[in-house]
Structure 1
């Protein structure tokens, strides 16, 4: 999966929704500042912005989830554009031990949202890319340190390396 995908209205080639899958590069340093500029440009026009942040580390780029910071592992944010140049932000905080949510994916008015089953999408990607053969879950958990409740859950789920 690429870091961003886009949904266009085919008759006019108008961008309707931009999907941003945050990477370590756009959550710190110059990459974060560059992403924040891109994000600002997208939020100034009538385009829906869907941000999928499945990284526990780094700075969350959106004010909606940074002030005050959410005490969660992952965040999905749907920023909806409207004809009145107003925006609404819908936020799905997701803990590491929870299933990824199904959330309404915005399209062009008057079309209804499409329900995006994020958990199903990632299960399929995981299977197709053979991640179960490539990732060693018994090693040290990457930074940042797990929250206490999540750490207890992790120790009960993942076998330790003996």
Structure 2
């Protein structure tokens, strides 16, 4: 016999800024070169829905994420929240105005032209910090030691 007891539907949403420092290589078009400024912040939007079990949907303002990166993010979310990896969807908006991302979540070391001197938007932090620590004071999306 099927249990027909009503289950509450719970939902929550969050947004984290994932804009990298100025100066990294841009993705999307050949010969783009390095980012020279920020017009709009890049974000990762997340929705979690629970009705018996929980699912999470995350969409990042990036051109793409390599499969290895998606798997790594799923493992980190499962460890932090208990949501099973199989119940987590990671997608990208296919943004042609975002950074190049390699399979470890870093800006690519590939340079289209010489690096510009630091500006007020450039920080001396690790090249991975823009992705792993999306908002100052927030918990990391993924551990940068994995």
Considering fraction of residues, name the structure with more strand.
1
Compare relative contact order (CA 8 Å, sep 6+) and give the higher one, 1 or 2: 2
Class of the TM-score when normalised by the shorter of the 2 chains? under 0.3
What's the TM-score once normalised by structure 1's chain length? Answer: 0.25
What's the TM-score once normalised by structure 2's chain length? Answer: 0.27
